[in-house]
A and B are shown apart, each in its own frame.
Chain A
Amino acid sequence: DIQMTQSPSSLSASVGDRVTITCRASQSIINYLNWYQQKPGKAPKLLIYVVSSLHRGVPSRFAGSGSETEFTLTISSLQPEDFATYYCQQSFTSPHTFGQGTKLEIK
């Protein structure tokens, strides 16, 4: 199985900050990489698919990049509603494994 490792596991930041979350795959997944956002008590939501394409309704302050084994999610200017947990997921091969999550908290 492909292992997905996110870093950091948690992150404290302030409104207006620029933050970056990294996701590493244990082998090449080319561009089969998606990002999800989950708020407490809620279902996850698709944020970015195919590395860098924003799902409908997702603000342009979110951006994804990377290829092969290393990927990043960047939020250019944190807003209060962005404090949540973020998960990467590979869909290159079954099982479509998720990273362990990155909890973004208010400083």
Chain B
Amino acid sequence: EAQLLESGGGLVQPGGSLRLSCAASGFSFSNSAMTWVRQAPGKGLEWVATISGNGGLTFYADSVKGRFTISRDNSKNTLYLQMNSLRAGDTAVYYCAKEIIVVVVPALSLWGQGTLVTVSS
């Protein structure tokens, strides 16, 4: 069964750093683009970043560009999100998701359970 499992969330002070991980299993990880989506408490979904299967292409939301870095280790079937210069507004549950392409249209077909990041002093 395909599965995604996030880890690495926690409480961090403003200006601090955190690295999230997402362990994938049950599907061909290296052939799948992967995405991070976040959800602030009581709010909607916000797309954060996407990385291609081989890691050669990355895309970021303007709100995190220059502060967050998405990466992957296909030998470990693991996706990462390095978050630097964290702000209170980054407080959210962070989900990793597997992207599928159907007739050239990307969609997020599999989601992890999420990991909570709280930025507070």
Q: Tell me the A residues contacting B by CB distance below 8 Å.
A: 1, 31-32, 34, 36, 38, 42-46, 49-50, 53, 55, 87, 89, 91, 94-101
20 contacts between A and B (CB under 8 A): A1-B62, A34-B105, A36-B108, A38-B45, A43-B112, A43-B113, A44-B37, A44-B111, A49-B102, A49-B105, A49-B109, A87-B45, A91-B107, A94-B59, A95-B59, A95-B61, A96-B47, A96-B50, A98-B45, A100-B44
A50 touches B62 (CB 8 A): no
Smallest beta-carbon distance A43→chain B, Å: 4
Say whether, besides A96-B50, A101-B44, A32 and B105 are in contact (CB < 8 Å): yes
Question: DSSP class of B's interface residues: helix, strand, loop or mixed?
Answer: strand
Q: Tell me the B residues contacting A by CB distance below 8 Å.
A: 35, 37, 44-47, 50, 59, 61-62, 95, 100, 102-103, 105-114
Q: Given the complex, which residues of A lie within 8 Å of B106, measured CB to CB?
A: 32, 91, 96
- For the complex, give the distance between the alpha carbons of A87 and B108 in Å: 12
